[in-house]
Amino acid sequence: MKEQIKPLAEQRFEDEIRLLQAWDEANQHPKPPRWQLSPKAVVRFICGGEVNGQPIQCKYFGADRQVEVAVATLTTDRALLLYGPPGTGKSTLSELLAAGISGNSQLIVQGTAGISEEKVLYEWDYAHRLSKGTDINALVKTPIFRAMEDGAIARVEELTRIPSDVQDALITILSEKMMPIPELNEVVMANRGFNIIATANDKDKGVNDLSKALSRRFNTVRLELPTDAETETQIVRSNIDKLCRGQSLPVPTNTDAEIRRVVKIFRELREGQAGTEKLEKPSATMSPAEAISVVSQAINMAAYLGDNPQIDASHIANGLEGVVVKEAEDRQVFRNYLDRVLKTRAADRDLEAALRAIV
Amino acid sequence: MDDQVALLGIRHHGPGCAHALRLALQQLQPDVILLEGAEELDSSWPLMASAGMKPPVAQLVYDPKQPQRCVIYPWAEFSPEWQAMRYASEQGIPLRMIDLPAGIRLAAEDNPEKADADANSEPDTQADAQAAATSEPVSADVSEAEEELAEEELAEEEQADEYAEPLPNSSQMLDRISASAGFADHEVWWDASIERHSGNLAMFEALQELMTEARNQYEQELQQREHFTPAQQQHLQLEQQREAWMRTQLRKARKEFQRIVVICGAWHVPALAAKVAVKDDNAVLKGLKKQKLEVAWVPYNFQRLSQDSGYGAGVESPAWYQHLFSHHQSGSDAEQTSIQWLIRTAGILRQHGFDCSSAHVIEAVRLAMNLAALRGQATPGLQEMLDATRSVMTEGRQGPLDQIFDRLVIGDCLGELPAEIPSLPIEQDLDAEIRRLRLKKLSTQELLSLDLRKDSGLERSQLLHRLQVLDIPWGKHRHSSGTGTFKEDWLLQWQPEFAISLLDASLLGNTVLLASQKRLVEQLADSQQVADVVELINRMLLCHLPDAVHSAVEHLQSIAAVSADLQDMMSALLPLVQLMRYGSVRKLDADALDHVVDSMIIRICNGLTSASACLDRDSSYRMLEAMEALHSAIKLLDSPDYNQRWIQALADVSVFDGVHAVLRGRSSRMLHDQQGISDETLNQRFRLNVSACADPEQAAAWVEGLLLNAAAAVLYDDVLFSLLDDWLMQLADDDYLRVLPMLRRSLSEFSSTELQQIGDRVLQGSHSSHDLLACDYSDELAQQAIATLSRLLGLGSTPISAATTGVTP
C-alpha cells in the first residue's frame, strides 16, 4: 500500500472540522458567506482547545493573538499577508486557515523569481484556441482564478520573490474583486468567500518589496519566533514525533533533553542573553524549523550511522555549527558563547568539547 | 444597601466607573459623599476646585521628618474620585475621606528590623536618611490607594519565602468570574465590560452583587487556611483595620445625613455593606498609634501616572483612558470612539514620518470592530486598536508602534497647580539639609572650600553634586575634581529660578537624595555607550548614591556584553579601573565590577584583531588611542590572566597584514613591554618593516607606532638606536621628505630633555653600522650568494666584497 508523505490539512483533520461544524450549528455562530466554519471555530481549529468535551489539537503554538487578527482580517474583504523570519510556520498557518475556512488548502501559487503573469491570472490552451477558436473554454484556470469562481481562499507562497510587475497583477483582483479577460472582452467576478493569503519572509536577500499600492490591500500579520522556551520546545517536540513516525524511527530516549538543550542555546543566542549574562547575537535566524532539523538530523545519524541509538553530542554539534555560523563574524560570536556560557555549564561540557573541535 | 446609604464600588482610575459615577450622583442627589481616601486629605481636597488646578495632580501625605515616607494619591480627570470631589464642590455638599489615616498605616510600618538598623547606625541624621532611602518600599508600600499593589508586593514577599503559600486575593476571585464569561484575564474582562461602557446606577448594583459573591469565596478560602506568614498576617490585619475604620465613619455619617453616597474600591463594598457589631470594629481599631503627617499637592503627569503606580489594574494607558472618558462624556458610540482613536493614531504616525492614509484608518476601524467581535467583546479595546494599527497601518511591524507608544498610549498630559499651593516636600528637605550643613542660600557669589576628608566637607560636596544632577547649579566647580583629590572649591550663588527645577525634581522624589538618584537612574536607562555609563557611575559616586551605583554596574554589565563598539569599551575601561581603585573609599561593590571588567577584557582581546583590521588612517589613530587607554588599564589591573590575554591579542594584531602599520608598530612595542616578544624579535620586525621593499610611508607609520612613548628605549637600547639611524640614513631624499612629518610627530611626544639627550647621542656619532656586521656570518656562504647575484644582474663574475656593500642590500 502506498502512503502519502503529507496528506492535506483538510484530510488530516477531517474529524475535527466535522466536530467544529456541529459546534457552530449548535451555538448558531454567525458565519461569513461560503465559510465552512465560523471565525470562532477557525480560531479554535488552529489554536486548539475543547469542543463538546472533545479535544481539538493545537496546530499552531503560542500565537493565539496573531491567529485572531488573521481570522478577523479574512472576515473583512482585506487580503492577509503573513510576514516573518523563515521557519516560523507561515505556510503552515496559511494552510490551516485555508483548510479551516474553505475546506481546501490546495489552491496554491508558489512565488518564484521566474513566475509570469499567466501563472497568476490565467493561461491559454493554444491547441484549443487554434482548433476551436478563442472562447472561455480555451482558458487554463490558475488556482487564483478557481478560488475567485468558487469563493474560496487562494494561497500565494513567497509573495516577495515574485517580480514586481507580476505582483501588481494582484491589485485589480484584490481591490476590484474581479479579473478582466480582454481577449474575450469578459470579466471574471470574484464570488463571496474569495480571499488571498500570502506569505513572505523578511530575511531573504534579493526580494521584491511590495509596491505601496499592493501592500495597502493587505493586512499584515507578523509571525515572530516563539517568545517562550516552553512553546518552542513543544513545537520542536511535536514535529520530531511526526517526523519519526513518518520514517518509522524510534524516538531516542534522550530526545527531550537534547531538544531542550538545542532550544535553549538557540534562544540564548537569538536573544543575546544567558541568565543575567548579555551576549552578542549571530546573524542567523535559528528558528524552530532549524532546531527541528538539527535534532532530526542527529536522530537520523544515531539511527543509521551510530552504534548507539542515543543522540550523541557530536551529532548535535555538527548541525548546530551549520545553523549558527552563517557568516565569518558568527564564528567569533559562537566562540565567545562557548567560552562564556557553555563552558560554565557542567551538563553541557560534552557539547562544548564537540563544538570546540569544529568551530 | 438601604434608602439612606448607596455604596458605589469603583476601580481607581477607571474611566467607565468615573462616567457612571457622575450619572449615579446626579440621580441620587446625595447630601454627603464618603470617599475612600486617607483621613488626612479631608482638609486639603477642596483645593482641587481652585482656579489654575489642572489634573493630573497628586496629593502627597508625608512624614514631615522623613518626606520619603509618604502615601501618594494621584488623580486624573478620569479618576472616579476626582469626579466625586468635583461633584461635591460643584454642589457645595460635604465630602469626607473615610479611609484609615495614613498616619496609622505609616506608624504600623515601623517594623522592628528597621528600628534596629537605625539604632546601630551612627547618630548622624544623614546616615539615617540614607538608611531610610535604601529601604525604599516604605513609601511604595502604601503609595497607592489601590489594594492590588499591596497584594502584588505581598506576592513578591511570598515568593521570597518559598514555603509560604500565597494568600487568596481579589485577582484570583475575579479571574474565576471572568473565566466563566470566557476571558482568560480579569483585567481584559473588566475593561471590556465596565470601563468601555458608559454605565449608570444599575451597573453599580450589579457590581455589588458580583463582588459580594467574589468576597464570599475569598472569605471561605481564607477560613480554610491555617498557617500565615507574618507578612500575610500584617496584610490581613491592615485590611481589617481599614474596613472597620470605614464602617465606623459610615455609622457616624448615618447620624448626621439623610442621603449618603459611599465611593470605594469595589472589593470593599461587600465589607461595608456587611452587618458588623460596633464593638467588634472597635476591638480591631483599639490601640492604634497615629503619626502626625502633612499633605502637599504636586503636579503630576501621565508618564508618572503610568510608572509609579505600577499596578496591574489601571493606568498602563492613561491617554487611552482619557480618550474613553471624554467619549463617554460626549456620548459617542463604540465606532465613533474607535474612529477618533485611530485618527489620532494615524496623526501621530504621520508626525513620525510614516505613511498613513484615511483608507488605512477605515480598514483599521473595520478590523478592530471585527476583532472585538471575534474575541467576544462588544466594543474594541486598546489591544484591538493596537492589533489593528499594527496589521493595517504599520505593515505588521512593531517598531513604529513602539516609537509612538509613549505619545499614543501613555500621553504627555502635564498637570498644573495654582501658584498659592503650599511648598513641596523636596523643598523642605533641601532647606533642612542646608540648615544641617550650615550653608546659606545667598544671591551673591561666595567661595566655598571643602576638605573631603572631613564628614562635613564630604556631605556638603555630595549635596552640591546632587543638586547639579537636578539641574540646580547652585554651586559651580572651580577646579576639576579628580576623584582622588581631597580638596574641592565651589562658587555658590542661589538663583530664584531654581524653584522651577525643584518643582520638576519633586516629581522624581521627595528628597534631594531620592530625586537625584532617580534622575541618574533614568539617564542610565538611556545610556547605551559604555563610556557614558562609566561617567554616570562616577557622578553617582560623587553624589554618594550606592543603590544607583549598584544598578549602574548591572546596566554596564549588560551593555558591555553586547556593545559592538570595541573602541568605546577600550577607552571606557581605564576610567572604570581607576574608579575601582579608589572605589573602596566610596563603598563601591568591586566584585561586581570585577566581573564586568572580566567579560569586557575577554571580548576586547578576542575581537581586537578584527576590530583593528581594515581601518583607514584616521580610524586607526583613534584605535591607537583606545589601545593606549586599554594598555594602561591592563597595567593598572596587573593580573596574570589579563596580561596573558592582552599579550595574545597584541601578538595577533602586531603581525596581521590588514592592520594599519602604526597599530602594528605600537602593538609590537606594547608586546615587547609586556615581555611578549624578545628584543631580538622586535629588532627583526623593525628590519622587516623598514626594509627597502617596504613603502616608506608605511615604514614611517610603523616606526611612529613603535616610538610612541618610548623615548627611553631610543636612548638606551643600542640596537634600536642604530637600526633607526641606519634606516634614516638609507632613505632617499624624496622618501625622507615624505616620512618627515610622521617622524616629527612621533618625536614631538618626547620631552625636551629627552630630545636633547637623543640629539646629543646622534652628535656623538656613536652609531655604527658595523655593529650589525659584528654578528656571526659566514663570509664564505655570502660569497657564493653574491657570485650568483652578480651573474643574475649581469655584473660579470667579478666578486664583490661583502664588506664594501655594507648592510644595505
| Domain boundaries, given as residue ranges, for chain A | 9-222, 229-356
- Measure Cα distances from B703 to B501, B671, B682 in Å: 55, 15, 12
Whether residue B670 contacts residue B643, with contact meaning beta carbons closer than 8 Å, is answered with no
- Distance from A211 to chain B by nearest Cα, in Å? 12
β-sheet bridge partners, residue A124: A139
Q: How far apart are CA B260 and CA B29, in angstroms?
A: 9
What's the pLDDT at B127?
A: 36
Closest partner CB to B561 (pick from A39, A212, A279): A279
Give the ipTM: 0.84
pLDDT digits (tens, 9 = 90+) for B506-546: 778 888 999 999 899 988 888 888 888 888 888 888 888 88
What's the pLDDT at B775?
A: 57
Residue B396 and residue B454 share a domain: no
| B115 CB-contact burial (10 Å; exposed 0-12 / middle 13-18 / buried 19+) | exposed
Taking 70 as the pLDDT cut, the residues of chain B under it are 1, 67-68, 110-164, 307-314, 422-423, 443, 479-485, 496-497, 499-500, 503, 582-589, 692, 765-777, 796-809
Give, as one character, the DSSP assignment of residue B181. Answer: T
Residue B474 and residue B377 share a domain: no
Question: If pLDDT is split at 50, 70 and 90, which confidence band does A193 have?
Answer: very high
Residue A279 CB-half CA count within 13 A: 28
| B159 CB-contact burial (10 Å; exposed 0-12 / middle 13-18 / buried 19+) | exposed
Is the residue at B716 inside a domain?
A: no
| B361 CB-contact burial (10 Å; exposed 0-12 / middle 13-18 / buried 19+) | buried
Interface check A336 vs B, CB under 8 A: yes
Residue A73 scores a pLDDT above 90: yes
Interface check B366 vs A, CB under 8 A: yes
Tell me which of B467, B493, B511 is where a domain ends. B511
Whether residue B132 contacts residue B66, with contact meaning beta carbons closer than 8 Å, is answered with yes
Domain that residue B503 falls in: 444-511
Interface check B346 vs A, CB under 8 A: no
Q: How far apart are CA B598 and CA B148, in angstroms?
A: 42
Number of Cβ within a 10 Å radius of residue B2: 9
Provide, as residue numbers in chain A, all residues whose Cβ is less than 8 Å from the Cβ of B564: 280
Number of Cβ within a 10 Å radius of residue A246: 11
What's the pLDDT at B169?
A: 78
Residue B401 and residue B450 share a domain: no
Asked if the Cβ–Cβ distance from B602 to A81 is below 8 Å, we say no
Asked if the Cβ–Cβ distance from B599 to A340 is below 8 Å, we say yes
Which range among A56-70, A297-311, A330-344, B680-694 shows the weakest confidence by mean pLDDT?
B680-694
Q: Which of B201, B181, A94 is nearest to B191 (CA)?
A: B181
Does residue B575 have a cis bond before it (omega within 30 degrees)? no
Whether residue B689 contacts residue B699, with contact meaning beta carbons closer than 8 Å, is answered with yes
Asked if the Cβ–Cβ distance from A78 to B367 is below 8 Å, we say yes
Is the residue at B185 inside a domain?
A: yes
Residue B134 and residue B81 share a domain: yes
pLDDT digits (tens, 9 = 90+) for B325-359: 999 888 888 899 999 999 999 999 999 999 899 99
**What domain count does chain B have?**
4
Whether residue B284 contacts residue B57, with contact meaning beta carbons closer than 8 Å, is answered with no
Residue B136 and residue B88 share a domain: yes
- Distance from B362 to chain A by nearest Cα, in Å? 12
Residue B227 and residue B157 share a domain: yes
Is the residue at B209 inside a domain?
A: yes
How long, in residues, is chain B?
Answer: 809
Residue B291 and residue B150 share a domain: yes
pLDDT digits (tens, 9 = 90+) for A227-253: 889 889 988 998 888 888 878 888 888
Whether residue B108 contacts residue B238, with contact meaning beta carbons closer than 8 Å, is answered with yes
Tell me which of B511, B529, B564 is where a domain ends. B511
| B489 CB-contact burial (10 Å; exposed 0-12 / middle 13-18 / buried 19+) | middle
Residue B94 and residue B237 share a domain: yes
Is the residue at B353 inside a domain?
A: yes
Number of Cβ within a 10 Å radius of residue B359: 11
Torsion of CA B127, B128, B130, B132, to 10 degrees: 160
Provide, as residue numbers in chain A, all residues whose Cβ is less than 8 Å from the Cβ of B602: 336, 339-340
Fold of A9-222: Rossmann fold (3.40.50)
What's the pLDDT at A218?
A: 94
What's the pLDDT at B178?
A: 81
Residue B451 and residue B396 share a domain: no
What's the pLDDT at A74?
A: 94
What's the pLDDT at B131?
A: 37
Q: Which of B222, B214, B211, B208 is nearest to B173 (CA)?
A: B214
CB–CB contacts below 8 A, A to B: 87
Tell me which of B410, B428, B457 is where a domain ends. B410
Closest partner CB to A72 (pick from B374, B606, B610): B374
Residue B277 and residue B187 share a domain: yes
Provide, as residue numbers in chain A, all residues whose Cβ is less than 8 Å from the Cβ of B559: 278
Q: Which of A280, A288, A285, A287 is nearest to A337 (CA)?
A: A280
Residue B354 and residue B292 share a domain: no
Side chain identity at B152, as an amino acid letter? Answer: E
Residue B208 and residue B62 share a domain: yes
Is the residue at B175 inside a domain?
A: yes
Q: Which of B303, B337, B260 is nearest to B16 (CA)?
A: B337
- Distance from B210 to chain A by nearest Cα, in Å? 26
B23 sits in which H/E element: helix B15-28
* B307: three-class secondary structure by DSSP: helix
